[in-house]
Amino acid sequence: MANSMIPAGDFRTSYAVDTTIFPTVTSRNVAIASVVLICFAPYLFSEYWLSLLIQIGIYGIAALGLNVLVGFTGQISIGHAAFFLFGAFSSAYLSTKIGVPAFFAIPLSGVVTALVGLVFGLPAARLKGLYLAIATLAAQYILLDFFARAEWFSGGSVPAMAEPFSLFGYVFQGDRQYFYVVLAYVVVCFLLVTNMMRSRDGRALVAVRDHYLSAEIMGINLTKYRTLSFGVAAFFAGVGGALYAHYQLVVSYEGFGIERSILFLAMIIIGGTGSIMGTLMGTAFVVLLPEVMEWISSLLAGGAIDQALGLKTNITFLREIAIGVIIIVFLVFEPDGLAHRWHQIKAYWKLYPFSH
């Protein structure tokens, strides 16, 4: 919010005005209008595009949690996929084995995931980000091993089932109806985090990131805020995972290895660490990248490049390489991600034709 373009003469005379969620009336109207517009998406898009939108929403919530940890607190987690999966399994467990309605199971599994996250985060919270990175790496392996082992919880080698989402007896079926559930969660989660970031706690997190020694001297409890931010990250991972469980209706631990955790990191780096809207942009980028690559490879099919690279058979490896290269390129050339680029584009049009 700090780097948005405010016209000259538009003063803020109180702290309350300075910390509103939307800096200008227009930006608030645009945000509301875009949420309203996207409500019509189920009527406009095909099932396939809708499923991509749902994925962006689900992964976006999890990536948002990671962004609180990485972007706002300056810690790093390489076990986010394991926490995401933990949320998915616990929601499936709560809804089928215990009979908690999915409506309550989703936030509840977020809380459970946050508690599990704290177990791994606590030892490292006393230390610097590097140690948290290593602790979460261990968490990734330990949790995945746990899922493979604990048949009562995750079904072991058999995928766990989850109940469909229902509200007051009305069952949300199919992508078109589930879309609204995800949309509601996305709006609530993003508002929650935006709100948190303008509170004392949010500012404390940013202070810990920017200069933890100064932060500590100013009376910010480092251990508390590092742990808190890790808990928040795990919470949103859990919520995202739970939404995923009720979307897919079956949860299997396959495909949630360390590569998936790296994908979550890619989302926030590409979108912009420390940018809330950037998280959604980055998630959209990562979710749509395979589609774009598919499209490019179908364009190139039969050509010389296709023959040289063997696109059809190697597309998965090329995708992984692309993800890795894109992360590096963003880190080197655009460390603030797409959100920063977006601000620059906005600034360009606003100042056009006098860019200085």
Partner 1 sequence: MNAHLLIQLLVNGLVVGTLYGVVAMSFVLIYKATQVVNFAQGELLLVGAWVCWALMVKYQVPFYFAMPITMIFMFVFGILIQMVFLRPMIGEPIISVIMVTIALSTVLQAAMKWIFGVNPQPFPPIFTSQSVDFFGLQIQTVYVMSLVVSLAMMAAMAWFFQASKHGLAMRATAFDQQVAQSLGISVKNVFAMSWAISATVSAVAGVVVAVVNGVSSGLSIYGIKVFPATILGGLDSIGGAVLGGIIIGLLENFAQFIDGEYLHWGNLYEVAPFYVLIIILMIKPYGLFGTKDIERV
Residues near partner 1, by CB under 8 A? 70, 74-76, 78, 120, 122-124, 126-131, 133-135, 137-139, 141-142, 145, 148-149, 213, 217, 259, 262, 265-266, 269, 314, 317-321, 323-325, 327-328, 331-332, 335
| Cα distance between residue 306 and residue 235, in whole Å | 43
Q: Name the minimum Å distance from CB 224 to partner 1.
A: 18
Nearest to 239 by CA among 50, 83, 14, 20: 83
Nearer to partner 1, 103 or 131 (CB): 131
| Cα distance between residue 280 and residue 189, in whole Å | 12
Residues 6+ apart with CB under 8 A from 119: none
Q: Name the minimum Å distance from CB 75 to partner 1.
A: 8
Q: Name the minimum Å distance from CB 213 to partner 1.
A: 6
Nearer to partner 1, 176 or 260 (CB): 260
Nearer to partner 1, 86 or 178 (CB): 86
Cα radius of gyration rounded to whole Å, the chain: 21
Q: Name the minimum Å distance from CB 296 to partner 1.
A: 16
Q: Name the minimum Å distance from CB 145 to partner 1.
A: 4
Structure tokens at 14: 């109180």
| Cα distance between residue 211 and residue 82, in whole Å | 29
CA atoms within 13 A of residue 174's CA, in its CB half-sphere? 6
Q: Name the minimum Å distance from CB 172 to partner 1.
A: 36
Nearer to partner 1, 3 or 314 (CB): 314
Q: Name the minimum Å distance from CB 231 to partner 1.
A: 17
Q: Name the minimum Å distance from CB 255 to partner 1.
A: 15
Nearest to 177 by CA among 189, 165, 162, 190: 165
Q: Name the minimum Å distance from CB 25 to partner 1.
A: 36
Q: Which residue has the tokens 């230390």?
A: 127
| Cα distance between residue 316 and residue 338, in whole Å | 24
Helix (H, G, I), strand (E, B) or coil at 44: helix
Nearest to 96 by CA among 84, 109, 85, 113: 109
Nearer to partner 1, 309 or 347 (CB): 309
Structure tokens at 166: 């229902």
| Amino acid, res. 210 | D
C-alpha torsion angle, residues 85, 244, 33, 355 (rounded to 10): 40
| Cα distance between residue 170 and residue 168, in whole Å | 6
Nearer to partner 1, 300 or 347 (CB): 300
Residues 6+ apart with CB under 8 A from 45: 53
